[in-house]
A = this chain, B = another copy of it.
Amino acid sequence: MSKTTNITIKDVAQSAGCGVATASRVLNNSGPASADVRERVERAARELGFSFSAIGRALQSRRSMTVGCLVPSLANPVFAEAVQGVQAVLLGSGYQMLISCSNYDAAADDAAIEMLLAKKTDALVTTMVDPDRSPALRLAKKRGIPISLMFHDPLDGFITSYVDNFEAAKEVARQFAGLGHRRTGFLALRFSTSDRSRNRYAGFHSECRTRGLPDPVLIEIGEAEANQPDLLAAILAQHPALTAIFASNDFLAIAVQKAARLLGWRVPQDLSVVGFDGIEIGRLLEKPLATIETSPEAMGRQAASSLLTMLQGGDTVQLPALPFAFRAGATLALPNPENGDDGRGATRPSPDLPAEPHAQQG
């Protein structure tokens, strides 16, 4: 553990018997150098185990070769995958990623951006609670730092990589309506801190109206309910009339099925469930999850690509929303005709028909 004193370019130059400028030129291939000195410098660098200090470089070049990344949480695989996408694109480009998580807290968001700015990240890729009113983000923009948002719908002067949550949610309403569902619910976690969630509800609500369905019931829950099926079941029990629930993400969609089971409700016979995101596991389940399939990884990739373009001086424009697709699954079926406002729990199983769109109900 002999704290090796750091080798600087000065040491290399000294060891090679030349000036630091020459050493720099050789090591960077950035200028002329005789074969002789080139040889000596390279050998010295090798023998001393020299490597450049990114700090020194950053200070002098005013470019840190670092991209700041802020997401609400890595425990949510959707964000983890997006970050993975960012990382994948950045990997070859020489940029490193400074990461931060806000835990869905707006104040933490702002503080994190400030930290990233202080670290002089060359660009920012973020998903925030409220990007629109983050002073730090505004400052970043004023400084002219390239910024790419992820997951957010287009916003004044920012570039964003996203799926059209509103449109996607409308598709879910269409599926429900097509099968004849009328009493629907929207299950949301962190509704207040997630514009995605809000937009999904808005789209769902809007299309329900268009199709002449009653307004969907908005069921907001907290962390506790999301993780404890019995608590969620208690909440679910308050809405016995619902025949279909749109969960704002796949994890919730799986959790609500568990809760339904606790209540003795069968999915999809007594309750249809559709999720959002399209996580891989949904596909592998015994009862494959009907959901809106998206690609967070692609989102991250696109965001990072835009960033790189901007970092190279290119102009970037807002790209269209990334594609989504409704993925059929065994959790969505016709509503149970027995399931009136209090007829829940009929023991007669309804046939396990494949989901087949009906004419809309007007």
**Which residues does A use to contact B, with CB under 8 Å?**
1-4, 6, 49, 51-56, 58-59, 62, 64, 66, 73-75, 77, 80-81, 83-84, 87-88, 91, 96-101, 114-120, 139, 141-144, 227, 229, 251, 254-255, 257-258, 261, 280-281, 284-287, 297
| A239 to B225 alpha-carbon distance, docked (Å) | 41
User: Are A87 and B58 CB-contacts (below 8 A) given A75-B297, A120-B53?
Assistant: no
Residues of B within 8 A of A97 (CB): 98-100
- Residue from A62, A114, A116, A281 with most neighbouring chain B CB atoms (10 Å): A281
Query: Told that A56-B59, A75-B84 touch, could you supply 11 new A-B pairs with CB distance under 8 A?
Result: A1-B142, A1-B144, A4-B144, A53-B120, A55-B119, A74-B81, A75-B80, A80-B80, A96-B98, A258-B286, A281-B281
Residues of B within 8 A of A6 (CB): 62, 143
Can you show 15 pairs from A to B with CB atoms below 8 A apart? A2-B144, A6-B143, A49-B139, A51-B118, A53-B118, A55-B58, A55-B120, A66-B119, A74-B80, A74-B87, A75-B81, A96-B115, A254-B281, A261-B286, A285-B286
A237 to chain B, nearest CB (A): 18
| A97 to B87 alpha-carbon distance, docked (Å) | 14
Contact status A101-B77, CB under 8 Å: no
| A56 to B116 alpha-carbon distance, docked (Å) | 14
